[in-house]
Structure 1
Amino acid sequence: MQVNPYLFYDGNCEAALKFYAKVLGARIDAMLTYESGPAEMPIPPEWKKKVMHARITVDGEVLMASDAPPGNFHQPQGFAVSLQVEDPADAERRFKALAEGGTINMAFGKTFFSKGFGMCVDQFGTPWMVNCPMEE
């Protein structure tokens, strides 16, 4: 069994995934638009080019995403996508990139449980935690 986060966006999924490709080195494996669905699928014409399903890979880990159907988007809450990054400098770089244009909830820095940890919400509304774990 595999568990993968599925992220929903409010019409800006494609921009978000291209951003993650740029700042995290993610690979966009698939991006299907609503127009590729069956003709009888009830989607407004202005939504046809929006993302119905996408899959990206970040350092071998899979995230899936789409633009929520019109009227079904809710601001993400109660979770965060967590990145575990071995190198403190790389962890901080990734954190700063994700936080750019978004909101920092906890600035990246050394903690009692890690060499570096930070929490942010990116410019697309997705919550992130970046952690550089202590050596075991």
Structure 2
Amino acid sequence: MPRRAPQLTIQEELMPALNPYLLFNGNAADAVGFYESVFGVEAIITRFSDMGGTPEDMPEEVRNRVANAQLPLSATNILMVSDTPPGNEIDNSKPGFTVQIEADSAEEAERLFTDLAKDGAVDMPFGKVEWAEAFGMLTDKFGTPWMVNYTGNAQG
């Protein structure tokens, strides 16, 4: 008779939130509409034009793309969706997703970013951004893309 793996207890207060972040090449709005209908939730959508610092010469079609959409699936799980910015389109050489971590502090976010980036590649340096006190993007040594985030009071 096969043995069962032991039941693990996760201490939620010690774990950062992990959320799937799906990436699209200009059709994220269609995907968001589909996922809203499937999961019966309403997404919170930010378009590139809603973000500060959007270049004036950005084409209108790109300005209207989804910069970030959040579909709350439960109190702790969020399906996140975005169109890729120009020049970062998804092809067969990179995955169409990333794993997003919401850390409990800027210090913890920086530690996670540094540890995950070891022997990997930094795609966006870690630092303060408009939507978060601390944020960075990287690809770990196994090819898995990550977004490490600490929102803090940036949206307060």
TM-score, scaled to structure 2: 0.43
Larger radius of gyration: 2
